[in-house]
Amino acid sequence: MLKNHSLVSIDDVTDEDLEEVFRVAERMNSALATGKKVSIMDNKIMATLFYEASTRTRLSFESAMNRLGGSVITVADTSASSVSKGETLADTVRMAASYSDVIVVRHPLEGAARLASQFSSRPIINAGDGSGQHPTQTIMDLFTIRKEAGGIDGKTIALVGDLRYGRTVHSLILALSRFDVDIVLVSPPSLRIPEHFLARIPSSRNIRVETDLDSVISTSDVFYVTRIQKERFTDQNEYKSLIGTYSLDLDDVARMKKGSIIMHPLPRIDEIKPEVDFTDHAKYFRQAAYGVPVRMALISLILEA
């Protein structure tokens, strides 16, 4: 059960929880599509603490709470908060807990959300912690695959790009291991997924590693493309050497299976050419839009409205 519990890792969500989130998200999505008002968070306040830049995650969380009838207080620029004076994460979270009912935290350091949950009297939702995890993005990604690819089981899913630092991929591969899927990891050797994530995948799951995107173009049902994350590199020369390693264009799309979909957690740089946006395969902007109903579902279940 998600009620009054923090959501720090995808491991905090059971299979039963996932199905419940999907059911509620479908209802929320239908309400949004028809313009039906959903006012179940009246008198509830969500605090958003963003120690790292964000567009889609912050806006979709805040939109979700507003559409549920609740209110939002936010720290979107830590330079204008007491963090700039040296206030610790623990103290900031304790303070925010006294002002709100649920707290959303994004932080550049892996493990920060787990730490925050230990000091908060209110549920913490991890909105991304460094190169760690991004569980709400993962639930949104699974929801997208279900709706846009016709389900999850039986699919071949290619995870492409920065698999070393990409927290969205780290959460997603753990979640996908619960399903009957084939997973292909496509990345430069230096950006392969960390071994400790692979070690958590059941041996019964079919996973293979590739460096050549061409090898999966015609056989995959889902392409989950990620950018090379400049902000995670300590050596910028290494980053520059990897820019443009993979870039989906119309020639690639022409060789894809009918009905296959392209996803991306965004923002993108050069991993997907703009002309791909207008093809039937492109689902990344719809994926981003699903962030609102999915996060509406999560907030309502955590606060049990």
Structure tokens at 218: 């015609």
Number of H-type helices and E-type strands within the chain: 11, 9
User: For 82, phi and psi rounded to 5 degrees?
Assistant: -70, -10
The pLDDT tens digits for 159-207 are 999 898 888 888 899 999 999 999 999 988 888 888 888 888 877 678 9
Domain of residue 176: give its range. Answer: 135-288
Do 188 and 216 sit in the same domain of this protein?
yes
Instruction: Tell me the C-alpha distance between 193 and 185, whole Å.
Output: 8
Which tens digit of pLDDT belongs to each residue from 114-169? Answer: 999 999 999 999 999 887 788 999 999 999 999 999 999 999 999 999 898 888 88
pLDDT confidence tier of residue 85, bands split at 50, 70 and 90: low
Q: Do 154 and 39 share a structural domain?
A: no
Whole-angstrom distance, CA of residue 244 vs CA of residue 239: 10
Query: Are 283 and 142 part of one and the same domain?
Result: yes
Residue 98 lies in a domain: yes
- Same-domain check for residues 101 and 187: no
Phi, psi of 290 (to 5 degrees): -65, -10
69 part of a folded domain: yes
User: Looking at the structure, do residues 172 and 279 belong to the same domain, yes or no?
Assistant: yes
**Domain check: are 147 and 223 in the same one?**
yes
Does residue 80 fall inside a structural domain? yes
Residue 151 and residue 280 in one domain:
yes
Give the integer Cα–Cα distance in Å for 260 and 223: 8
Contacts of the segment 210-218: beta carbons below 8 A, 24+ positions apart? 210/184, 210/185, 210/186, 211/186, 211/187, 212/186, 213/160, 213/186, 213/246, 213/248, 213/252, 215/186, 216/156, 216/158, 216/184, 216/186, 217/252, 217/255, 217/256, 218/255, 218/256, 218/257
pLDDT digits (tens, 9 = 90+) for 197-224: 888 887 767 899 999 999 999 999 999 9
- Are residues 279 and 164 located together in one domain of the fold? yes
Instruction: Note whether residue 5 is domain-resident.
Output: no
Closest by Cα among 155, 154, 216 to 185? 216
Q: What is the mean pLDDT of the chain?
A: 90
Q: Residues 121, 159: one domain?
A: no
Question: DSSP class of residue 290?
Answer: T
Our count of domains for the chain comes to 2
Q: Tell me the whole-structure pTM to 2 decimals.
A: 0.91
Quick check: is 90 in a domain? yes
pLDDT band with cut points at 50, 70 and 90 for residue 81: low
Residues 231 and 124 occupy one common structural domain? no
Question: What's the CA gap between 296 and 61, in Å, rounded?
Answer: 8
**Which CATH number characterizes residue 220's domain?**
3.40.50.1370
User: Do 282 and 296 belong to one domain?
Assistant: no
- Same domain assignment for residues 169 and 24: no
- Residue 1 covered by a domain: no
Give the residue from 297, 188, 170, 180 showing the smallest Cα distance to 224.
170
Query: Which residues are within 8 A (CB) of 280 and not within 5 positions of it... i.e. 6 or more apart?
Result: none
**Chain center to CA of 264:** 10
CA 172, 131, 246: angle at the middle one, nearest 5? 70
Beta bridge partners of 225: 160
